[in-house]
Amino acid sequence: MPELPEVETSRRGIAPHLEGKNVKGAIIRQPRLRWSIPSDLNDIISGQTLHRVKRRAKYLLLEMDSGHLIMHLGMSGSLRILPPETTPGPHDHFDLLVGDCCLRLCDPRRFGAVLWSDQPLDQHPLLTQLGPEPLGDTFTAEYLFGCSRGRRLAIKSFIMNSKMVVGVGNIYASESLFLAGIHPQRAAQRISLARYKKLVTCIQDVLSRAIQQGGTTLRDFQHEDGKPGYFTQELLVYGQEGKLCTQCNNPITQRRIGQRSSFYCKKCQR
């Protein structure tokens, strides 16, 4: 389930293979992802130079001469760098041919996206509503505390809302709240500024460490070279129901919050 660390890991992995290279074309095997891949994409991008591989939230942005290719990994997407002649598997829906290599998108559940934008990115409807980057300067406790006034929803749902802060998905939301000692069901407006300071630090800490470990591999995620991420072994609560809390030895609880399965320690998190 790609969250910010997995997308950033993918970005860092693919960028050296793509930046400054000539775009040879695109192969669409299955256009029906979350939105349809534009059928004229090959004509648009062939011959352009791919200048830079950027990231905003969980979107990968491949900057070319006349616009950007926007890619999203959904929940089961992964990218590989392969020789162009490599035989595609059943879920290899899209190839971008760049220089001498092939950027291949595999996405079994097809919640991902491949789109083209020739407008300035800050005007793109998918990007305009996004909150601050969690590892950027504008993501502060004061900001989050301010947003939370009058909001009664669970803090876990609150920090997973991309209008508040981007890139915090189901795994890292549970992990951050555990590290901060905050119960995931607690109403966002009933958390003090001091506790938001702790939370912001914990979100940044867990995301940074996950990037260092190359992300979390649970099922589908893999690096551009096919290797897994190693943060999986550092997960303290996510998927750990029944196991003992590393802080107090009480069993980890699992329950659904806002349609998402959530993991926490009843004793450590209030």
Partner DNA sequence: AAATTCTCCTGAAGGC
Partner DNA sequence: TGCCTTCAGGAGAATT
Among 37, 57, 114, 202, binds DNA (CB under 7 A): 57
Retrieve residue 264's tokens: 């926490």
Among 39, 87, 129, 233, binds DNA (CB under 7 A): 129
- Tell me how far, at minimum, the Cβ of 102 lies from DNA, in Å: 21
Q: Is residue 2 annotated as a catalytic residue, yes or no?
A: yes
Q: Output the DSSP codes for 30-91.
A: --BSSSBPPTTHHHHHTT-EEEEEEEETTEEEEEESS-EEEEE-TTT-EEEEE-TTPPP-TT
DSSP bridge pairs for 265 = none
Q: Is residue 16 annotated as a catalytic residue, yes or no?
A: no
Closest CB to DNA among residues 75, 177: 75
Closest CB to DNA among residues 90, 242: 90
Retrieve residue 234's tokens: 């550092």
Size, binding site for DNA by CB under 7 A: 36
Please give the C-alpha separations between residue 77 and each of 71, 72, 91, 105, 111, in angstroms, as whole numbers.
10, 8, 9, 7, 8
Contact 207, 175 (CB under 8 A): no
Q: Is residue 5 annotated as a catalytic residue, yes or no?
A: no
Residue 171 and residue 207: Cα distance in Å, rounded? 10
- Tell me how far, at minimum, the Cβ of 14 lies from DNA, in Å: 18
Instruction: By CB under 7 A, tell whether 232 contacts DNA.
Output: no
Among candidate residues 11, 58, 156, 195, the one labeled active-site is: 58
CA angle 22, 118, 132 (to 5 degrees): 100
- Tell me how far, at minimum, the Cβ of 108 lies from DNA, in Å: 4
Site residues (CB under 7 A) for DNA, limited to 93-122: 108-111
- Tell me how far, at minimum, the Cβ of 12 lies from DNA, in Å: 18
Q: Which helix (H) or strand (E) is 102 found in, with range?
A: strand 101-106
- Tell me how far, at minimum, the Cβ of 19 lies from DNA, in Å: 23
Instruction: By CB under 7 A, tell whether 157 contacts DNA.
Output: yes
Evaluate the CA torsion angle 39, 79, 135, 174 in order and state its sign: positive
3-state DSSP assignment of residue 242: coil
Closest CB to DNA among residues 42, 162: 162
Instruction: By CB under 7 A, tell whether 91 contacts DNA.
Output: yes
Q: Which helix (H) or strand (E) is 204 found in, with range?
A: helix 193-212
Q: Which stretch binds DNA (CB under 7 A): 19-27, 194-202, 204-212, 258-266?
A: 258-266
Closest CB to DNA among residues 98, 207: 207
Residues that bind DNA (CB under 7 A): 1-3, 32, 34, 57-58, 72, 74-76, 90-91, 108-111, 126, 129, 150-154, 157, 160, 162, 169-171, 219, 256, 258-261
Active-site residues: which are they? Answer: 2-3, 58, 260
